[in-house]
Amino acid sequence: MPPYDKLDRSAQLAPKKPAKNGGQGVLQGAISGFGAMAARAHLPGWQSRNGVSIVAVHDPVRERRENAIDLIRNVRVYDDLAQMLRNETLDFVDIVSPPDGHASAARLALRAGVNVIVEKPLCLTAAEFQELINLGRRYRRLILCVHNWKYSPVYRRVHELIGAGVVGRVQYLSLVRMRSEPAATSSSGAGWRLSSAAGGGILIDHGWHCFYLAHWLLNGDRPMAVSSYFQFHRQSGVDDLADLRISFRDNRLVNVLLTWNAPVRRTGALVVGSTGVVEVEDNKIRVGRASGRSVEYSVSEASDDSYHPGWFASAAADFERVLKEGPDAEFARVNLAEAATALALTIAARKSAARDGALITVDPVE
C-alpha cells in the first residue's frame, strides 16, 4: 500500500471537469486520509450539508478504509489516491492525511482538475506553498486550508469585540495552548504528532492555529520578526513545548505558549488594547475597561476536545459557498493569506529555536 508521502503520480492523470453540482445538484466529494480527525470532525461536517455527498475515501491503511465503509453508505474506498482521482468524477477532495502528505495530495488533486480543502497545515515549505498557488491558478481550482479555530464561538466573540473597538487599538496578544499530551495518544492517531518525518510536533499541531488567529485578530497584519524557544519530546525528538515572542508593526507584540507537558488542559488568550483588555480562559470571556468597569461572558460551546465537529461544519458551509463563487473569491484570498502567515512564522520560529532564541526576520511566503 502506498504511504501518504508517495502520491505524486501526475503523469498518469489528466485534468477532468469537476462534477460541478452534478447528478441531483449535489457536490461530489472525497476524503483523503481517514484517521480520527476525518472520521470524528470532517465527515460529520460534510454530512451536515444537504448539498454535499462524500462518495469516495482514500487511505493506505486497510482498517481506516473499513471504518469509512462502516460510516458512509455506498462509499467507494481506495488505497491509491491517483486511482481514486482517475475513477471518480469529483468536485473536491478533502485532505486529512498527516501533514507531510498534504502538499503531494493537493498537488495531485489540482493537476487532476479537482478543488481541494486541506486540514492544517496547508503544507510545510515555502516552495510547496508557491507550487500549490501556481497550480490553483493554472487549473482555475480552489485551494482552502481548514482554519477551524476561527469558527470557535469564543474567538468569534473576541474578534467581534476587537472589531467593535471595545479595547481600542490592540497592542499585545497572548495565546496559550496547554495540554498534558498530544491528541489521540491512546490510539494510532497520535503517530504523526510524535513523528518529525510526518510533520509532527506541537508547533505544527497547535502553533499553526495560533498564527492564523493572531493574523485574524490583528486585522490581517503581517509579523515582522520572531524569537522562539523549544523543548523536545524525550522519545520522539519532536518539539513538545514552544514559547514564542512575535513582533508586528508599530511595536505590537504577540506571545504564544504551546505545551504538551502541562498538568491541566487550558486554552487561553489575553488581548491588551489602548482602552481595555479581553481575557479568555476556555469558554469564559472577561472584558475590562479603563473606566474600571468589567463584563463577563460565558459562551455556550461543545466540550473542548481535539476534533470540534461543529466548527468544521461551519468551515464546510463556507467551502461549499466559496466553491460556487470560484477560486478568486475574497474568502479564498484571505484564507491563503492566513496560511501564508502561519507557514512563514513556522519556518522562522524553527530557525530561531535552532539559534537559541535569536530574533529572526519573518520572510513573507507568497
50 pLDDT more than 50: yes
Cell triple for residue 24?
441531483
12 pLDDT more than 70: no
Please give the pLDDT value at position 304.
Answer: 56
**Positive or negative CA dihedral for 178, 101, 224, 273?**
negative
Please give the pLDDT value at position 23.
Answer: 41
- In tens, the pLDDT along 198-223 reads 999 999 999 999 999 999 999 999 99
High-pLDDT (> 70) share of the chain, %? 90
**H helix and E strand count, the chain:** 12, 15
User: Which residue matches cell numbers 504538551?
Assistant: 260
How high is the mean pLDDT of the chain?
A: 92
Closest CA to 229 of 357, 98, 67, 342: 357
Which three-class secondary structure state does DSSP give residue 292?
Answer: coil
Closest CA to 233 of 273, 186, 281, 181: 181
**What are the structural domains of the chain?**
10-146 (3.40.50.720), 150-312+340-361 (3.30.360.10)
Which three-class secondary structure state does DSSP give residue 306?
Answer: coil
- In tens, the pLDDT along 79-132 reads 999 999 999 999 999 999 999 999 999 999 999 999 999 999 999 999 999 999
- In tens, the pLDDT along 27-37 reads 999 999 999 99
Alpha-carbon distance of 314 to 268, in angstroms, equals 22
Cα separation values, 162 from 89, 183, 275, Å: 44, 31, 11
Alpha-carbon distance of 165 to 146, in angstroms, equals 28
Average pLDDT over residues 32-44: 96
Closest CA to 253 of 295, 292, 225: 225
Residue 32: which residues within 8 A CB-CB, separation 6 or more?
57, 58, 59, 81, 84, 93, 94, 95, 96, 97, 105, 109
Q: What is the pTM of this model?
A: 0.92
Which three-class secondary structure state does DSSP give residue 190?
Answer: helix
